[in-house]
A = this chain, B = another copy of it.
Amino acid sequence: MAKIRQPIDPEKEARIIEVAMHEFAQHGYRDTKTENIATRAAVSKGLIFRYFKSKANLYLTTVRYTFAKINQAADLSVWQDSTDLKMMIVRGLRYKIQMQLQYPDEFALAMQAYGDSSALPEKLQPQVQKIWQDVVADSVPLLVTPILERLPMRPGVDPNNVRAMILALSSFIGEKSKVMIQANPHLKVADFDGIVEQAQALMDIVEHGFLANETKA
């Protein structure tokens, strides 16, 4: 009847990570104090170090958790079955914005970890980079490719470049909405309609170009 070893209370661990995510996202690594995390997670400071060994390691764990959470929460089917690119972009964008609104801290932390983040102590940077590479990889291409394959491609156009173009456009729009959310966290999805429309217009350009008088061979 040996008592099962339970070195870690999963609920407390979860609380700590959730709080850490929030704190790191709001204040950055250096200005987040373990004391605060402990208090808000209703846990002792000592426990954080027992569970996570160090602040740096807590950060790493939190970032990993955050990426996982975003990935898991993302319901790719929402836009995966779009019939054309514009529809997909619109759906995907709207969905992403919705998620940014729903998980502002998660997104903020993810972006912070991605950004060159001289915000982080020297030692953490390479490790954070690694997480990115492992997790983010190439999710966008995977989603876009099936649709792209159904579309007739103008001769001489490399599909990879189309994907790159869409990626560029996507992060451009993402940046725009992030700024809006930072300025006013209480916006609704509808408030981003203008941005979505712009994205649509940009996609139109990507599809048909902006030049007139084209004589396509």
Contacts and interface: CB of A to CB of B under 8 A. Distances in A.
A143 interface: no
A212 B216 contact: yes
Contacts of A115: 115-116
A213 B27 contact: no
Interface in A166-217: 167-169, 171-173, 175, 178, 182, 198, 201-202, 204-214, 216-217
Contacts of A121: 31
Contacts of A122: 27, 31
A119 B211 contact: no
A67 B120 CA distance: 23
A201 B120 CA distance: 36
A92 to B, nearest CB: 16
A139 interface: no
This protein's copies in its complex:
4
A111 interface: yes
4 shortest A-B CB distances, which residue pairs?
A28-B118, A119-B119, A168-B172, A209-B209
Interface of A: 24-31, 108, 111-112, 115-122, 151-155, 157-158, 161-162, 164-165, 167-169, 171-173, 175, 178, 182, 198, 201-202, 204-214, 216-217
Given A154-B212, A212-B216, 19 more contacts: A28-B118, A28-B119, A30-B119, A31-B121, A115-B115, A152-B212, A154-B208, A157-B201, A161-B202, A161-B210, A162-B210, A165-B205, A165-B206, A168-B173, A168-B202, A171-B175, A208-B214, A209-B209, A213-B216
